[in-house]
Amino acid sequence: MAVLLTAQQESAGSGVTTVQLAPIAGREEQIRRLFWETVTIGHPLPFELTCAKHYENLGLNWYLINGAADSTVALVDGEVVGYSLVCCDSESFHQVQRKYFVILVASVLLALITGRSNKESRRFYWLRLQDSLTISRTRKVLPKNVHMHAHLNVGHGFQDGSVSRKLRDHADQVCLSNGATAYFGEINAVGGRRILGLHRVGGQIVNDSTNRTFSWLTGQDVHRLTLIRHLTANEQQAA
């Protein structure tokens, strides 16, 4: 269960900003809004996406419904500026995700057949399909005892590491409390950058693959890095 925690973050030109971690219940719409505001490596999509609601459901609904008790949001002045969505039940996750995936595919195909899909959306979904196949293959490199995962997202203007470390620590404690000593996640690296971010997260890179969708959207070489975060003895004792 997410608990309310408070941290202090230095905000350029405005002194100290209070950052709180709080349960996601009642803040689902703010999470959905932040999802779209940052969907392309911290930026919104530059076009209107066909079947956007179904895509959103695939990306968020399991965490907001089934995994709500294990997830948290970061608040600044009452506004959601980041979230840590944690999955401790991979079997439930995959079962629910298959349903949302089928709904999304059927909706996209129907939009295509009826001429309700724009060219940008068609390319977006084609590249996402290729990326999904790549992700399925990369999952095979994960150790068999690493089942839990976390999805962290921080809004623009709060990416100095203060918020992300609090969200990461939340994921650590949730996974530890559920008996795990490691969990996995993904980071998108642009042109070899975000190595500092990897040090902050403390993850071991186990796979590096091209993110076709984000490379197209940004016009840069974007790589999807699959990470395993091994929880240290000190973190296990703190739990």
E strand or H helix at 16, and its extent? Answer: strand 15-22
Domain encompassing residue 118 = 5-238
Asked if the model's pLDDT at residue 219 lies above 80, the reply is yes
Share of the chain above pLDDT 70, in %: 85
What does the mean pLDDT of the chain come to? 88
pLDDT tens, residue by residue, 107-166: 999 999 999 999 999 999 999 999 999 999 989 999 999 999 999 999 988 887 889 999
- CATH number of the domain residue 132 falls in: 3.40.630.30
First to last CA, the chain: 13
pLDDT tens, residue by residue, 38-74: 999 999 999 999 999 999 999 999 999 999 999 999 9
Asked if the model's pLDDT at residue 234 lies above 90, the reply is no
Count of domains in the chain?
Answer: 1
Better-predicted residue by pLDDT, 157 or 170: 170
Please say whether the beta carbons of 184 and 142 come within 8 A.
Answer: yes
Give the C-alpha separation, 230 to 185, whole Å.
Answer: 11
Asked if the model's pLDDT at residue 226 lies above 90, the reply is yes
Q: How high is the pLDDT of residue 3?
A: 39
Q: How high is the pLDDT of residue 10?
A: 42
pLDDT tens, residue by residue, 171-182: 999 999 999 999
Tell me the pLDDT band of 104, cut-offs 50, 70 and 90: very high
Mean pLDDT of 198-225: 86
In the chain, count of helices (H) and strands (E)? 8, 8
Enter the tokens of residue 70. Answer: 């294990």
Enter the tokens of residue 41. Answer: 């490596």
Asked if the model's pLDDT at residue 199 lies above 70, the reply is no
**What count of other Cβ atoms lies within 10 Å of the Cβ of residue 4?**
10
Tell me the pLDDT band of 7, cut-offs 50, 70 and 90: very low
Neighbouring residues of 152: CB distance < 8 A, sequence distance ≥ 6:
82, 83, 84, 85, 164, 167, 168, 171, 185, 201
Q: How high is the pLDDT of residue 119?
A: 97
Query: b/e string for 24-35 if b means 16 or more Cβ within 10 A?
Result: beebbebbbebb
Q: How high is the pLDDT of residue 201?
A: 55
